Amino acid sequence: MAAVSTPEREAFYKKIDGENLTALWTVMSDLITPEPKSACRPHLWQFAAIRNYMMEAGQLITAKEAERRVLILENPGLRGQSKITTSLYAGIQMVIPGDIAPAHRHSQSALRFVLGGKGAFTTVDGERTVMQPGDFVITPSMAWHDHGNETSEPMFWLDGLDIPLVQFLDASFAEGARDDQQKVARPAGDSFARYGHNLLPVGTKRGARTSPIFNYPYAHTREALEQARRRDEWDPCHGLKLKFSNPETGDYAMPTIGTFIQLLPNGFSTARYRSTDATVFAAIEGRGRTRIGEQVFEWGPRDLFVVPSWHWVTHEADEDAVLFSFSDRPVQEKLDLFREDRGNA
Ligand code: GTQ
């Protein structure tokens, strides 16, 4: 409840304002809300439109000059802040044949979810991984990374970073490398070979919170969904939804960003669901629609949409559909702030 205004009160507020003081009772209801209240809005970006703009950007600037040739997905309620949700950043990155996105490192953690192209690479701390559509790739905090493309077609991926979160905490460090490209120090597939088979090296404890697997190939992800589908155990709110996990800890694959893959079979329609983690979705297969509050968004392969905190959401698939998604859920869970509401399901 807001306190009523009187001339005496207003004069008082003005007087203390000069002393860098504010009366709590004038702002309390904006600070402590009965439910999440966010400027973040529901929105969908069609990949086809972004792809055209990216090709145009390819004529304007090289990856080397840009450092990263990325178009930021800005939430319409948070324009000018480089945010897709209050805590997370998303962008679409294009790496065309011959590009070199030079090596750098930063405190922000990054994920890539590959949308199109075939066989461009990223090198993370000396290991190169060749990427395919649907692959989920991690760049841990402070890991050196550069990207390149020795194929004949452009590659596009979704970047998800914890930039706003790190900004909020004033904890950003970054540096460029002397050489644009890192020396490849380990064979391709090394991290998956070591950690991707339910076996862990004995006697070496990494103690890192980010998964040692940095490419979760779509072929494996898709197979996991397909196997699970045979069990026919559908969650009314999510269809079939799996989280990418760190094999060393069983926790999320990244410390600040939770990443998920979900299958909605042809004709499936979910029960309403809401949660405190605003979530970014990328469709990789299939078509359907998502209702967020009162708005309906139609999506197909490679389209991207965002669901703000505590908005009711339902999905409907017209074909077998696969959705990748990410949010700040790991952070909220660790701070005992995460809440979800499954309606009556
Ligand atoms: O690929 O390293 O979208 O540093 C934003 C910042 C991508 C990257 C982004 C980055 C990168």
Averaged pLDDT, 218-233: 93
Burial class of residue 250, CB neighbours in 10 A (0-12, 13-18, 19+): exposed
Please give the pLDDT value at position 207: 79
| Residue 7 placed within a domain | no
Task: Say yes or no: CB of residue 145 within 6 Å of ligand 1.
Answer: yes
Residue nearest to atom 8 of ligand 1 (CA): 68
What is the residue range of 178's domain?
43-201+208-341
CA 345 / ligand 1 centre spacing (Å): 39
Is residue 11 predicted with pLDDT exceeding 80?
A: yes
* Domain tally, the chain: 1
| Residue 53 placed within a domain | yes
Residues 30-86 have pLDDT tens digits of: 999 999 999 999 999 999 999 999 999 999 999 999 999 999 999 999 999 999 999
d(CA 277, CA 258): 10
Is residue 266 predicted with pLDDT exceeding 80?
A: yes
Residue nearest to atom 4 of ligand 1 (CA): 68
Task: Say yes or no: CB of residue 222 within 6 Å of ligand 1.
Answer: no
Please give the pLDDT value at position 206: 83
What is the number of the ligand 1 atom nearest to the C-alpha of 91? 3
Return the bridge partners of 82, or none: none
Residues 161-172 have pLDDT tens digits of: 999 999 999 999
| Residue 14 placed within a domain | no
Please give the pLDDT value at position 1: 57
| Residue 52 placed within a domain | yes
Question: For residue 181, what is the domain's CATH number?
Answer: 2.60.120.10
pLDDT band with cut points at 50, 70 and 90 for residue 232: confident
| Residue 19 placed within a domain | no
| Residue 185 placed within a domain | yes
What is the number of the ligand 1 atom nearest to the C-alpha of 101? 1
Return the bridge partners of 287, or none: none
Is residue 310 predicted with pLDDT exceeding 60?
A: yes
Please give the pLDDT value at position 243: 98
d(CA 32, CA 44): 29
| Residue 257 placed within a domain | yes
Task: Say yes or no: CB of residue 123 within 6 Å of ligand 1.
Answer: no
Is residue 154 predicted with pLDDT exceeding 60?
A: yes
What phi and psi values does residue 273 have, to the nearest 5 degrees?
-150, 145
**Mean pLDDT estimate for the chain:** 96
Which residue from 70, 112, 304 has its CB within 8 A of the most atoms of ligand 1, so it is best to mutate? 70
CA 142 / ligand 1 centre spacing (Å): 12
| Residue 34 placed within a domain | no
